[in-house]
Amino acid sequence: MIHEKIQTTQAKAKAVQPLVDDLINTAKRKEKRLAIRALNSVLHSELASRKIMEELIKRYAERTSGYTRITPIKFRAGDAALIVQIELV
């Protein structure tokens, strides 16, 4: 959440994508105090929850879902796993 993009395997990116969408939707829909508590229970970084509450809510105000994009990059040399980049749109 802090860097807004990361390179990882496709399986891990697909597992994280719904979690990110749920966190942003929670921050948008709940009262601020309750949203901060919900975010802090999942995220271990105060900077990440602060970024969601201050920046990302404004950026995605008119968007209802689809906050992330998964882009294939390459295949890993050791086991040929697909490496992708997951980023906030």
Q: Where are the alpha helices (DSSP H) in the chain?
A: 10-29, 32-42, 46-51, 57-59
pLDDT at residue 1, rounded to an integer: 82
Q: Which two tokens stand for residue 22?
A: 């749920």
pLDDT at residue 58, rounded to an integer: 94
pLDDT at residue 79, rounded to an integer: 94
Q: Which two tokens stand for residue 1?
A: 């959440």
Q: Which two tokens stand for residue 40?
A: 């802090």
pLDDT at residue 29, rounded to an integer: 94
Q: Would you give per-residue pLDDT tens digits along the chain (89 residues)?
A: 889 999 999 999 999 999 999 999 999 999 999 999 999 999 989 999 999 999 999 999 999 999 999 999 999 999 999 999 999 99
The hierarchical CATH code for the domain 5-88 is 3.90.1030.10
- Tokens 């990882």 belong to 8
The C-alpha atoms of residue 24 and residue 20 are separated, in whole angstroms, by 6
